[in-house]
Amino acid sequence: MKPVRKASTCLLIISLLLFISAFVFSDEVTVNYTSKVIESFDNPNARPWIVRGSKFATEGYPKMTYANAWPEALFGRNKDKKDLKCLGIHGKFNRKAYNYIEIIPAKKDKDGNLVPSPIQLPGRVKAIDLWVWGSNHDYYLEVHLRDYQGIEHVLRLGSLNYAGWRDLMVTIPSSIPQSRRYLPRRMSLQLTKFVMWTKPTEDVSDFYLYLDQVKILTDTFESRYDGDNLVEPDVIKKIWGTSETGKK
């Protein structure tokens, strides 16, 4: 019976250690998944976008518009007659190659010019997805994320070699940091752009692409502690005149 008692004791110790670890590092354990739409494209005035192509892009392309179209798998026939829109792109390149089109969230500067403006993603992001209309071209789509250290991470959302609307999704690997030991612990990711790539063997003379419903699955849980309001951006701005420590 001694080996059994010894094994039972070891299992008890391991269980206690796991319990203590889960308590100490509770911020790293997902307990509150939330699905959030970060861009619907329904309101063009809410957030502008920049679309630009690589060097072999035909003059005047790519073109961008907001189209009255949507994935029926998501909204059905839109019997409620909501003002649904998606982001439309018309592309042309002068030669086959690894061409690309960047789709960049933006804002207007003081002179009214559009400049890149990354989207701050709330919580600890577990996955990102969006609906993409493909036209059977052998292209593929990437999403670019920036962590709190300023490092850019490129994740492939998937191939566009299909017809019609499809939901493309990628999980965020644990190797991309979204927290740290110091306060504030949670350090949000930024979505800097989507990039569509063409393959050198595929026709690039004339094509269309549509995007809709950019969404994230995120963990919004955060352990509470006395004084946790002092890490809130609005509170920091009120006290120090800035939303980021050390920046005016």
- pTM for the whole thing? 0.81
- Measured between alpha carbons, how far is 86 from 84 in angstroms, rounded to an integer? 7
Q: Please tell me the predicted confidence (pLDDT) of residue 127.
A: 97
DSSP characters for 137-164? -SEEEEEEEE-TTS-EEEEEEEE--SEE
Q: Please tell me the predicted confidence (pLDDT) of residue 230.
A: 76
Q: Please tell me the predicted confidence (pLDDT) of residue 145.
A: 98
Distances (CA, A) of 224 to 164, 184, 189, 196, 228: 45, 11, 21, 41, 6
Domain at 31-222+229-240: CATH code: 2.60.120.260
DSSP characters for 90-132? EE-BSS-SS-EEEEEEEEE-TTS-EEE-PEEPPSEEEEEEEEE
Using one digit for the tens of pLDDT, what is the confidence trace for 93-135? Answer: 999 999 999 999 999 999 999 999 999 999 899 999 999 999 9
**Exposed, middle or buried by CB within 10 Å (0-12, 13-18, 19+), for 16?**
exposed
Q: Please tell me the predicted confidence (pLDDT) of residue 246.
A: 41
Show the CA angle centred on residue 59, arms to residues 58 and 60, nearest 5°. Answer: 110
- Measured between alpha carbons, how far is 172 from 190 in angstroms, rounded to an integer? 12
Ordered by start, the domain boundaries in the chain are 31-222+229-240
Using one digit for the tens of pLDDT, what is the confidence trace for 155-199? Answer: 999 999 999 999 999 999 999 998 777 777 677 899 999 999 999
CB 142 within 8 A of CB 194: yes
Distances (CA, A) of 177 to 32, 36, 192: 19, 20, 16
Q: Which range is least confidently modeled, 31-45, 144-158, 210-224, 230-244?
A: 230-244
Using one digit for the tens of pLDDT, what is the confidence trace for 68-100? Answer: 999 999 999 988 889 999 999 999 999 999 999
CB 117 within 8 A of CB 105: yes
